[in-house]
């Protein structure tokens, strides 16, 4: 009878778990730090080769290095460099057709001896592609066959058994990020360019959403003339639900804005809403913004003292074309 207790049933040794975790982080941090003195002309040449690439950037790797390669391809693609991942085994069985003359292929392998990658290299040459290798062995077959080799060697893995790729994948991942971000700068890639690659993210919404995209216009836009009574203005405000109405002339030029606050002040003074005219109680020179401005720019205008929750939107000659409420910015997830 086996009386041995399964490890899953034993309590975790807290001090041992924390000691291992700290050792892993120290080892991986040292592996990244050790890359710094190895950044030399080869790295600069790789950035230039990728920047001047007339085709696409193809990234390949297998095993854990394959995961690093996939991440590098994704980072390149999102920072202005057309890139995609190709599995080396699939490339040797047909996907090589995805690679064209003028492409640059980045091969990631810690040993630099991965059979699938080594076998692929001569075929890439025949296709007219150039090769950048990222390996942990500068004397490896992949390093030898590459046009440019980047050294990602580590002294030891962080794995307590010394077996699982850990520090080596961290180093390759960090070196890939350094390559992608140096390339971003060399291309003059901007925050606006990044937003265009990430339209669904928060940055994309802030940098791509225009006032015209979120403003209310047409029948949803509350407007009255200066001759309207306060009672007329209240009806329009209730129908449109913006807590205000724009006051415009016959050419839709803005005379003012009448808000819930203006209404409250009029009531406090005992004003007869059926007789009093909006022009006598409106706020003159209301804040306005152009339709082509970024929706995120509305926030600064609204936050300037005294704070407001509505803005009027004008065209290039100052005519009213829309309006927006702070809630519209929240709904558009610009804030």
List per-residue pLDDT tens for the chain, 335 residues long: 566 666 667 788 899 999 999 999 999 999 999 999 999 999 999 999 999 998 899 999 999 999 999 999 999 988 888 899 999 988 877 788 788 899 999 999 999 999 999 999 998 988 899 999 999 999 999 999 999 999 999 999 998 888 789 999 999 999 999 999 999 999 887 666 565 555 555 555 666 688 999 999 999 999 999 999 999 999 999 999 999 999 999 899 999 999 999 999 999 999 999 999 999 999 998 999 999 998 888 988 999 999 999 999 999 888 999 999 999 888 877 76
The DSSP-derived string for 199-242 is: TTSHHHHHHH-BHHHH-B-GGGS-EE-TTSBHHHHHHHHHHHTS
Domain boundaries along the sequence of the chain? 24-189, 211-331
pLDDT score, position 164: 86
pLDDT score, position 192: 64
CA distance 141 to 71: 24
pLDDT score, position 171: 97
Asked if 283 and 257 count as a contact pair (C-beta separation under 8 A), the reply is yes
Asked if 191 and 203 count as a contact pair (C-beta separation under 8 A), the reply is yes
What φ, ψ does residue 58 adopt, rounded to 5°? -115, 130
Indicate the DSSP class of residue 97: G
pTM for this predicted structure: 0.65
CATH superfamily, with its number, for domain 24-189: Glucose-6-phosphate isomerase like protein; domain 1 (3.40.50.10490)
CA distance 122 to 46: 20
| Cα 118-77-168 angle, rounded to 5 deg | 45
What φ, ψ does residue 94 adopt, rounded to 5°? 125, -35
Counted residue by residue, the chain has a size of 335
With b for 16 or more beta-carbon neighbours within 10 A and e for fewer, the 243-282 pattern comes to bbbbbbeeeeebbbbbbeebbeebeeeeeeeeebebbebb
In CATH, what number does 211-331 get?
A: 3.10.580.10
Neighbours of 23 (CB within 10 A): 12
Contacts 24+ apart (CB under 8 A), 196-201: 197/77, 197/78, 197/79, 197/80, 198/78
What is the sign, positive or negative, of the torsion defined by CA atoms of 305, 311, 315, 319? negative
């Amino acid at each position: 009878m086996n009386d041995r207790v399964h490890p899953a049933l034993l309590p975790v040794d807290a001090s041992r778990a924390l000691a291992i975790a700290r050792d892993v982080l120290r080892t991986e941090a040292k592996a990244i730090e050790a890359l710094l003195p190895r950044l030399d002309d080869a790295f600069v040449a790789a950035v230039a080769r990728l920047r001047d690439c007339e085709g696409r950037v193809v990234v390949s790797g297998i095993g854990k290095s394959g995961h690093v390669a996939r991440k590098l391809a994704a980072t390149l693609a999102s920072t202005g460099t057309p890139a995609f991942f190709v599995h080396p085994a699939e490339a040797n069985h047909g996907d090589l057709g995805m690679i064209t003359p003028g492409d640059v292929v980045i091969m990631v392998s810690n040993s630099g001896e991965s059979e699938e990658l080594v076998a692929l290299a001569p075929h890439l040459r025949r296709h007219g592609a150039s090769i950048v290798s990222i390996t942990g062995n500068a004397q490896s077959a992949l390093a030898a066959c590459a046009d440019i080799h980047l050294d990602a060697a580590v002294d030891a893995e962080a794995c307590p058994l010394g077996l699982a790729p850990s520090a080596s994948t961290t180093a390759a991942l960090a070196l890939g990020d350094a390559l992608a971000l140096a390339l971003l700068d060399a291309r003059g890639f901007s925050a606006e360019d990044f937003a265009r690659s990430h339209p669904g993210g928060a940055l994309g919404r802030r940098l791509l959403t225009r006032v015209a995209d979120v403003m209310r216009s047409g029948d949803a836009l509350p407007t009255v003339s200066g001759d309207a009574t306060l009672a007329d203005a209240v009806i329009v405000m209730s129908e449109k639900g913006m807590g205000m109405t724009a006051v415009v002339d016959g050419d839709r030029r803005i005379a003012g804005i009448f808000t819930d606050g203006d209404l409250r002040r009029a009531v406090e003074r005992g004003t007869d809403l059926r007789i009093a005219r909006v022009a006598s109680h409106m706020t003159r020179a209301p804040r306005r913004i152009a339709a082509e401005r970024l929706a995120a720019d509305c926030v600064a205008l609204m936050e300037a003292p005294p704070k407001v929750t509505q803005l009027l939107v004008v065209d290039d000659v100052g005519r009213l074309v829309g309006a927006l409420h702070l809630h519209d910015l929240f709904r558009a997830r610009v804030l």
